[in-house]
Amino acid sequence: LQIDYRDGSDLSKAVEAARDADLVLLVVGYTHADEGEFVNATPLVAKEKGGDRRSLTLSPADETLILQASSANPRCVVVMEGGSAVITEAWRERVPAILMLWYPGMEGGTALANLLAGDANPSGKLPCVFPRSADQLPFFDADAREIEYDLYHGYRLMDKQQDTPAFAFGF
């Protein structure tokens, strides 16, 4: 087994490596600095990082990497890290496999290797809905200090509106 690692910072080199590979594993997503429960106690202090993401899609760089690498080699597995749903519509039909690792911690690489080698079964179920677009979700204001939702959000809202998510609750 030979592993040819590229960090994705040079897109052309990453795509070239993908073209020549038997299998492409793309690890993309977010860190705790991009999202989380960081909220300042005082409204006078600007929030520097963390909190709610402004977009539910991956970063433009991650989406470009997925699109170009999967064009160069259709045998791409996309591994996402993050703390909440990700909209995958721009690329999900172009890859044969997607794994959501959430934030796997210091043994995440070991766990991923066990999944990829078939030593463990990726048998987890999604604890939330992954929508096809933000339009399938209730109104969201990242700067709001307070907001109230009724019972219809997540899968309940999609059921009520007879919407089909990308990945349903429990997928």
pLDDT of residue 50: 52
Q: Find tokens 């290797």 and name the residue.
A: 113
Per-residue pLDDT of the chain in tens (171 residues, 90 and over written 9) = 788 999 989 999 999 999 999 999 999 999 877 776 655 555 544 445 556 677 899 999 999 999 999 999 999 999 999 988 999 999 999 999 999 999 999 999 999 999 999 999 988 899 999 999 998 988 877 777 788 888 887 788 889 999 999 999 899
CB atoms within 10 A of CB 41: 6
Predicted structure pTM score: 0.86
Query: For residue 164, which of 155, 47, 113 has the smallest C-alpha distance?
Result: 155
CB atoms within 10 A of CB 16: 14
